[in-house]
Amino acid sequence: MATFQFRTVPHIHAGRGSATELATIAAPLLAGVERVVLVTDRGVRQAGLIDAPLGELEVAGLSVLVLDEVIADPPEDMVLAATARARDFGAQLVIGFGGGSSLDTAKLVALLLGSDQPLSDMYGVNKVRGQRLPLILIPTTAGTGSEVTPISVVTVGETSKMGVNDPALYGDLAVLDAALTLGLPRHVTAATGIDAMVHAIEAYTSAIEKNPVSDALALAGLKKLHGSIERACLDGADMEAREDMLLGALLAGQAFANAPVGAVHALAYPLGGIFHVPHGLSNSLMLPPVLRYNAPSAEPLYTQLAAHLDLAGASTEALVTEMERIAGVVGIETRLSQVGVSHNDLPKMAEDAMKVERLLKNNPRPMTLEAAHACYESVL
């Protein structure tokens, strides 16, 4: 067996209604803590999702500052401003509550409060020095898997998405409560669910750090997501489908935390950075062309994934066609022109995608500027 490493978070608590028992579940982490910041966004707050956990924490005697200013694809300035408010408050523990944007922001707030290192020095892989504050992560999308990854993605300047990838960003506790996802709108359910499927697919074909544990998690995650995404989109109140989605996203997250994603994500980044296309939708758009481009190098692995999903005539094409069918059923965009991209934008997008070396190095087939351009062109 080849040598490999596998890391994940130390504690996962899953169960319907868990978020309403947060103070009990997190009691060991909360011992001796008086001041907590809860990082979320206005959409999650207005949906009423934090009300019960917040009440519970306050009944337990904790003083809680809610920072609800998170913006999708978190801008660096917003992260720094949230950190300053949390520092002024004297936060001793950080809770991330929401989609990937809220969790990623919370992870960095916890890190920046515990260390003197500037954020600008942390971008890249294994660049973090110092400690972070205790950190609890509670996802409300299914999802980025951010609750079990050592990654935070930030928008730097106007359009660049940069990642901090370091074991220090693994939280202390992830709480999975599918009840939080029941009200997730159909379009967000679809896009975030396909993002999770892309995590599983890209982890399974990751060029460098793919290993038997990440493979097992990617397969299990993809199966759960594939079996539930249509049901969760067509009937948002289907609790079993919501639970499978949340668990599938977590398993896929554990997989790609160790076997990192590749060119689908790299080519998706400029869509988020320049056009503010939601992360999941960007990935859904770029999945078919990148898988077809990768086929000469990754056909056996895509075939294994297609067979694992019991797709007829298991092949790359069967897998891609199935993902296109799902995008059609759940009703999300499938062409770049539908999200405001025009032919003239493609050269800059291809250039930006080629800068995402952190991810491109994991792609099973080397990506080139010309191929990136052709991938965009084919789904314009």
Ligand X SMILES: NC(=O)c1ccc[n+]([C@@H]2O[C@H](COP(=O)([O-])OP(=O)(O)OC[C@H]3O[C@@H](n4cnc5c(N)ncnc54)[C@H](O)[C@@H]3O)[C@@H](O)[C@H]2O)c1
List, in sequence order, every residue forming a beta bridge with 93; answer none if it has no partner. Answer: 36
181: contact with ligand X by CB under 6 A: yes
105: contact with ligand X by CB under 6 A: no
193: contact with ligand X by CB under 6 A: no
254: contact with ligand X by CB under 6 A: no
Partner whose binding site includes residue 140, from Fe ion, ligand X, none (CB under 5 to 8 Å by kind):
ligand X
Alpha helix stretches (DSSP H) within the chain = 22-25, 27-30, 42-46, 51-59, 76-89, 100-114, 186-204, 212-234, 239-258, 263-275, 279-308, 316-330, 346-354, 357-360, 369-378
- d(C-alpha 337, C-alpha 141), whole Å: 26
Please give the biggest Cα pair distance in the chain: 60
Q: Which of 18, 140, 189, 284 binds ligand X (CB under 6 A)?
A: 140
15: contact with ligand X by CB under 6 A: no
Stretches 57-65, 94-102, 202-210, 355-363: which one binds ligand X (CB under 6 A)? Answer: 94-102
Q: Please provide the distance, in angstroms rounded to a whole number, between the alpha carbons at the two ends of the chain.
A: 43
Q: Which of 8, 83, 146, 316 binds ligand X (CB under 6 A)?
A: 146
Task: Output the smallest distance, CB 273 to Fe ion, in A.
Answer: 14
Q: What tokens were used for 328?
A: 């059609």
Stretches 87-95, 157-165, 192-200, 320-328: which one binds Fe ion (CB under 5 A)? Answer: 192-200
Task: Output the smallest distance, CB 102 to ligand X, in A.
Answer: 6
353: contact with ligand X by CB under 6 A: no
**CB-based burial, 168-199: b 16+ in 10 Å, e otherwise:** bbbbbbbbbbbbbbeebeebbbbbbbbbbbbb
248: contact with ligand X by CB under 6 A: no
104: contact with Fe ion by CB under 5 A: no
Count other C-beta atoms under 10 Å from residue 253's C-beta.
Answer: 30
Residue of this chain nearest to Fe ion (CB atom): 195
8: contact with ligand X by CB under 6 A: no
184: contact with ligand X by CB under 6 A: yes
Q: What tokens were used for 80?
A: 């720094």
149: contact with ligand X by CB under 6 A: yes
CA atoms 75, 76, 79, 84: torsion sign: negative
List, in sequence order, every residue forming a beta bridge with 137; answer none if it has no partner. Answer: 96, 174
Q: Which of 13, 37, 38, 43 binds ligand X (CB under 6 A)?
A: 43
Partner whose binding site includes residue 353, from ligand X, Fe ion, none (CB under 5 to 8 Å by kind):
none
- d(C-alpha 139, C-alpha 125), whole Å: 24
Q: Which of 8, 18, 83, 101 binds ligand X (CB under 6 A)?
A: 101
Binding site for Fe ion (CB under 5 A): 195
Residues that bind ligand X (CB under 6 A): 41, 43-44, 47, 49, 72-73, 98-102, 104, 140-141, 143-146, 149, 151-153, 180-181, 183-184, 188, 192, 195, 279-280
